[in-house]
Amino acid sequence: MAPGIDEIEVARRRLAGIIKPTPLMRSATLERMIGAQVFLKPENLQKTGSFKLRGAANRVATLTPAEAARGVIAASAGNHGQALAYAATRAGVRATIVMPATAAIAKVDATRGYGPEVVLAGADYQAARHAAEAIRDRTGALFVDAYDDEFVIAGQGTIGLEIADEITPDVVLVPVGGGGLIAGIAVALAARAPGAEVIGVEAAGSPQLSVSLAAGAPMAIAAPADTIADGLATGRLGRMPFDLIGARVRRAVTVDDFEIGAAVLLLLERMKLLVEGAGATALAGALKIKDQLVGRRVVIVLSGGNIDINLLDRIIGYGLAHAGRLMRCTVDLRDRPGELQRLLALIGEAGANVRSIRHDRTRRDVAIGGARVSLELETRGPAHRQELSERLAAHGYLIAIES
């Protein structure tokens, strides 16, 4: 049975003392960039690092004694698993979490740290889900869906209540994977701030929201989900979330990994907030449609902050490249003492910073007596890259820019 505003209000009372309300944050930087009043909802600061604790804890709190005795099981790319593990352990309920074998190491380790049994199975979320369902059938454990569950959706909807407690928004942008978060928020705002437009933001590598809205039914994408926003890579939209958002959410904004990476970098660099790819997706969407948000009161939901450090390094690289602040190039020079030092001096004088360098004098496509230097440089942006290229060319260097 799909939850309504009453169920969300009950969930808020149930979650008191378990989750912490996350106050809205203003950002002068984002307001200047978007031309609107911008409020961030920082669920990356929630216990377990994401909004998922709201739904998982609400579901565990509603278990009957018989269900609790059977234990719970879930499939998760990381955040739902951590949340359910924490909530179940806190309630003294046995939990098993099935995660894709490709899940971020940080999320696997964090989930194990909350005490459940962790099983790695499959290459993506849907494969892990099938494995979890097989274990459920064998053991009798209760399957707790990450998004297609009335109690989970009601728990996520408490975010909408908290938003409406503080302001009356014009627009709320929400990241979308399976749809539980946006469904809960949409139900809550329809009752408490009915004039607010709720916009779903999806990753281009897992566009199940736009596919479902176009079809008028919950759909799975044709190709395997593939995005750095792994928390959104469900590959399909839940039936219950779709039924709830069908009349309340009419629009999806799709952003690619470069746009998501740029949003991660912006939040880290300017707001000092560490978010994962999924957590930054709504901001990426807001930046993409900023011309349509001018003058409005905008809330951006930052859904989580559980990011693998190796992935963070890649995302920073993506973000820097997308912003024109990372330059990869090769330079051919004469192989004699002092030439490399001269090249690096020119780069330093131009204000660029060397992140990595490789000096190769044995390539077949480099003349005998020559060498090729591969460089990764930090620059201030596209204009600075152009200035640096022109400076090197003026000093006789043949430069080839890769990115």
Integer Cα distance of 122 and 12 in angstroms: 35
Judged by phi (left if over 0) then psi (alpha if -120 to 50, else beta), residue 250 lies in: alpha
Q: Confirm whether 52 is a catalytic residue.
A: yes
- Catalytic residue, chosen from 52, 107, 206, 389, is 52
Radius of gyration of the chain (CA): 24
Burial class (CB in 10 A: 0-12, 13-18, 19+), 167: middle
Task: Answer yes or no: are the C-beta atoms of 336 and 352 closer than 8 Å.
Answer: no
CA distances from 245 to 57, 190, 205, 325 (A): 23, 10, 21, 39
- Catalytic residue, chosen from 50, 206, 303, 389, is 303
Least Cα distance to 278 among 36, 116, 109, 49 occurs for 49
Integer Cα distance of 190 and 194 in angstroms: 4
Integer Cα distance of 172 and 163 in angstroms: 9
Write the DSSP symbol of residue 200: E
Integer Cα distance of 56 and 80 in angstroms: 7
Burial class (CB in 10 A: 0-12, 13-18, 19+), 275: buried
Q: Confirm whether 389 is a catalytic residue.
A: no
CA 188, 231, 146 angle in degrees (round to 5)?
A: 55
Show which residues are catalytic: 52, 303
